[in-house]
Every structure is written in C-alpha cells, then in structure tokens.
Amino acid sequence: MSENELNFDDKLMSMLHIIANEGINNAARGFSGLLGEKLTVNNPGVRMVELKEIPHILGGPENEAIGVYLRAEGDISGQIMLVIPYDKALELVDLLIGNPPNTTQELGSFERSALAEVGNQTGTFFINSLSSLTGLDVRPSPPAVMVDMVGAILDIIVATTGGVSEHVLLMEANFELGNRKVETNFWVIPDEKTLNAIRFGAS
C-alpha cells in the first residue's frame, strides 16, 4: 500500500470512528426508548472483517437467530443488521410486550413486528445521526425480519459486498439489557461507493 493510500485509510477510519460513535450511541437511545430501559453499549467500534469470517462472528453459521435488516439509501448508502440469538429474541419480545419472562415461545407475525420495530427505531436513529453529522440526505428502508440460521441470515451482507471485495467494513456494537441480559448485535456496513465518497471527499 502506498503512503497516500495509507493516509486516506487513516482519515477514512477516523471519520468512520466518529460516525460510528455518535451513530451507535444514538441507535442505542432509539432501542432503549422502545423498552423504557437503558441499554449498555458493549464493544462499539469499526473494523475490517474477512468475508469468510462473517458467519462465524456470531457463534456459528448454523445457530438459529433473528436478523432484522434494513438499508440506508440516499447520499449515503449501506446496510444495517441487528442479529439476536433465537432464545434472546424470545426474551426481547417479552420485554417489548411487557410480558413476564418465558411467555413468548414462538415468533408469529405479531412478535416479528415487534422485532421489526426494534430494527426500525435502532436503525433509523443511527441514520438520523449520520444525516445530522454529515448534512447529507439518508433515509431508511422498512425492515425485514429473518428467523433462520446465522449463515443464511448473513448471506445478504456477504452477497451484497462480496462481489466488490474480500473484506467487509463493519461498524458494530453489542447492546445489552441490564438484568435480563438480552444481547443484540448491531452492524452497519457502508456501501463501497459511500466509503469512496468519504475517502475521496475527505481532504
């Protein structure tokens, strides 16, 4: 890598860190608001991950999980994904609906809509922050809820970014809810053209 490329990537990474920090904290606020409880934000950060590694980050590609996926579109574009292990998702639904623990045993359309709304508010709050930081226009798509193996859920990310690169740039955090320990992984993956816009616009 040439000196120049390194500099661009340093600048890019530092901008991404700023965006990630603000965005993730705002996203956590959106999520918290639905629950009326404060969330802990664990391990927020930005990193490059090899495509092949993606399905293994969340404990294994065959584990059952819920993925809530939405896209950010506009002057800035990218993907947003919340992933929750299946059992934790059931607990989260209980919390959202206001049920005692272990009430929810299955994820019907009503329960999925609650998880979709978590994705919507969390993702939209991230996007609001992005728009406010950059002054650019960015809007969310409606969310899609997937209940399946982690590998299958994450294929959309791999397939969308995989044609262009062997690596995926991830902005990530883990949201944890105090006493009921519902862990939700939150990922933001900027599109290559957005990274380029930031990279070449940053000077």
Phi and psi, residue 190, nearest 5°:
-70, 145
Return the amino acid letter for 150.
Answer: V
Tell me which stretch binds another protein (CB under 8 A): 6-14, 41-49, 126-134, 192-200.
Answer: 126-134
Tokens of 172: 């990530």
The answer to whether 140 and 45 are in contact (CB under 8 A) is no
Which residue, 3 or 106, has its beta carbon nearer to another protein?
Answer: 106
Rounded Cα distance, 160 and 79, in Å:
9
* Cα(45)–Cα(25) distance, integer angstroms: 11
Query: Binding of another protein at residue 141 (CB under 8 A)?
Result: yes
Q: Does 198 bind another protein (CB under 8 A)?
A: no
Rounded to 10 deg, the angle between the 3-35 and 109-134 helix axes is 130
- What whole-number distance in Å separates Cα of residue 86 and Cα of residue 2? 45
Q: Does 100 bind another protein (CB under 8 A)?
A: no
Q: Indicate the residue among 51 and 197 with the shorter CB distance to another protein.
A: 51
23: contact with another protein by CB under 8 A: no
Does residue 87 interact with another protein by CB under 8 A?
A: no
Shortest Å distance, C-beta 168 to another protein = 11
Binding of another protein by 180 (CB under 8 A): no
Half-sphere exposure at residue 160, Cβ-oriented, CA atoms within 13 angstroms: 21
CB of 10 or CB of 53, closer to another protein: 53
Q: Which of 9, 11, 57, 151 binds another protein (CB under 8 A)?
A: 151
Q: How far is the CB of 123 from another protein (least distance, A)?
A: 8
